Structure 1
């Protein structure tokens, strides 16, 4: 016996047998991906998170036989305590989550509203974390079950790096491998030189400068670091960071030499991209640059690296070396200019899909 199968929010299948499973109405999905966060700052939550993060071969590419014993037996016996204390110092205790989680939720809420206003109610906007929860796999499963036959995947990394953008893509592809009905997908590329992203950065600097009495002597653009070897092996991250800094300076109308590009979060003994932020701010203070501002263009949301490392370790190093005024320019977070930039990026990558979807 043929029949129509209908359920709320589901499509109609004509000429299907009565026992055919319901099928969700076809829709387009937008999946935003950020780095990740531990579920809590206790030892075991931190150990699970750090183990997943530091076991990623995109992040640490040493042979597993050499790296895993050191990681599991030495590093993860101590580091969860120190990292947990750092997270506790910035934790959103009211909501029981890290600032990165709070901000990502706010970003996605604004993106949902903007997408709905631009394209109507048919698109699904969700977020996942590369490490921790909500996992990429669980969110992909939910989106496919909800009828997403097309998904635009947006890693929230303006500059491409193998240890950020590529590993987020890897995780997304592995999640798709488990789906019986794989959706069509588009991966949003890096947007380090997008005019609206640069504009949002410039506005954030102008806003921060308008709230202080004395203009900083220099603006330090501090990006997350990576081993120099990765650059030599073809990773474009370093060059893209340099271009973002240059475009930001040009948009601000400042002279050459007014914005320095540095790299933070060095790990291990291998040489990383230089100059190191913590060393550079000390050099600035000793050279007479007593007032500086620091911005983090590579981070889409304030997190442990900005709230604890920059405003803690790096600020303290500058002041201890003789610095007088340290201004931190917050990440773009859920600022309206940032959401506008992300929407412009998404519209480009949705081209053709949304027009066909509306027919």
Structure 2
């Protein structure tokens, strides 16, 4: 580190321009001007929809002990010999139904790239070239490792790591941060890193959700009987072991309801994507929408506040499996309200959080 008490001939400061070091031998490695990096981190995506691409992606995802915490001695034989021989076919089919064929990538990748581009534009206007914005995936590409190393090579000595999960949970926020820390463990010169906390109750996040509901409802001929807020599920025991996810989901729904000025009967919290035999957080979305239809709620809207970007769980699971369950039970009108994606209100929320995290590290220029 640069030490003001160090003799002048021992110091190695970087010139204001490019990365030439004063008082350094001619073969000294080039050092980029110190900058700050911002990484938007999302869940992940397969590179393609074929069997082997899906198998690689699912193997990385389902081998994560944060996601499936069963003993590897029991889980890995089941995963490798049974699940990964069949599931890549069904998952590939689901992804093909939503695939961005023009860009040849998943919608999650497209949207996350767009989010990063819009954030980068805002950052450039406020901080100039002092801050670099990039994005990574916990599973698949661009990998957390590649992006952190790329920012380090560009001179980023400090990094704001932003997991795009509004509600904290071990299988989402924690594993994203775990991966970033694993990368740092193997670096000789580690950049300092700040991780962004869950933002489930951030006023701008709640307001962005409310605006998306108001916008959707304004385009309907008839107001839905009920709004379902469907969150990705986790095993029930996670709650009992101290994971705050369930409580944060409930608070997000309550704050959204209050922002909209609705009564308690106008909105319902549910959980989707159950996997495996054990009990998960309830009520299960796929079962609850059928119950609502049978109870006379024939016209519902549904949104997924736990997802920052539309993906296979929203575009395929909600719009197909869950919608089908509702209609088979007698439901008549099913309206899906998209995730916040790269909506301007969502980007404004991200920028407010990023500016707070950059405080003390870099000075705003504009």
Corresponding position of 1:230? 238
Corresponding position of 2:191? 183
CA distance in 2, matches of 1:9, 1:29: 19
CA deviations 1:95-146 (Å, max 9, x no partner) are 0000000101110000001111122222110000000001100111111011
| Structure 2 SS opposite 1:40 | coil
Preserved CA contact (<8 Å) 1:225 1:264: yes
CA distance in 2, matches of 1:344, 1:152: 13
Q: Residues 216-227 of structure 1: matches in 2 within 5 Å?
A: 216-227=224-235
Unaligned runs of 5+ residues in structure 2 are 1-8
Corresponding position of 1:68? 76
CA distance in 1, matches of 2:245, 2:149: 31
Preserved CA contact (<8 Å) 1:299 1:331: yes
Corresponding position of 1:264? 272
List structure 1 runs of 4+ shifted beyond 6 angstroms: 1-9
Corresponding position of 2:255? 247
Q: CA deviation at 1:17?
A: 1.2
CA deviations 1:279-338 (Å, max 9, x no partner) are 000000000000000010000000000000000000010011000100000000000000
Q: CA deviation at 1:13?
A: 1.7
CA deviations 1:8-28 (Å, max 9, x no partner) are 963342111111111011000
CA distance in 2, matches of 1:185, 1:171: 13
Preserved CA contact (<8 Å) 1:3 1:18: no
Corresponding position of 1:17? 25
Q: Residues 1-80 of structure 1: matches in 2 within 5 Å?
A: 10-80=18-88
- Alpha carbons of 1:280 and 1:13: their partners in 2 closer, same or farther (altered >3 Å)? same
| Structure 1 SS opposite 2:97 | helix
| Structure 2 SS opposite 1:223 | strand
Preserved CA contact (<8 Å) 1:27 1:124: yes
Unaligned runs of 5+ residues in structure 1 are none
Corresponding position of 1:285? 293
- TM (norm. structure 2) is 0.95
Q: CA deviation at 1:5?
A: 9.9
CA distance in 2, matches of 1:237, 1:2: 51
RMSD: 1.7
Q: CA deviation at 1:180?
A: 1.2
| Structure 1 SS opposite 2:331 | coil
Corresponding position of 2:316? 308
| Structure 2 SS opposite 1:221 | strand
CA distance in 1, matches of 2:63, 2:183: 18
CA distance in 1, matches of 2:231, 2:12: 55
Q: Pick which of 194-203 and 12-21 moved more.
A: 12-21
Corresponding position of 1:112? 120
- Alpha carbons of 1:318 and 1:9: their partners in 2 closer, same or farther (altered >3 Å)? farther
Q: How many residues align?
A: 357
CA distance in 2, matches of 1:206, 1:237: 26
Matched, 1:341 2:341: no
CA distance in 1, matches of 2:287, 2:184: 43
Corresponding position of 1:328? 336
Which residue of the other structure, out of 77, 99, 108, is the alignment partner of 1:100? Answer: 108
CA distance in 2, matches of 1:49, 1:4: 44
CA distance in 2, matches of 1:24, 1:179: 17
Preserved CA contact (<8 Å) 1:4 1:12: no
Preserved CA contact (<8 Å) 1:46 1:84: yes
Q: Pick which of 307-316 and 249-258 moved more.
A: 249-258
CA distance in 2, matches of 1:100, 1:314: 20
Which residue of the other structure, out of 170, 176, 180, is the alignment partner of 1:172? Answer: 180
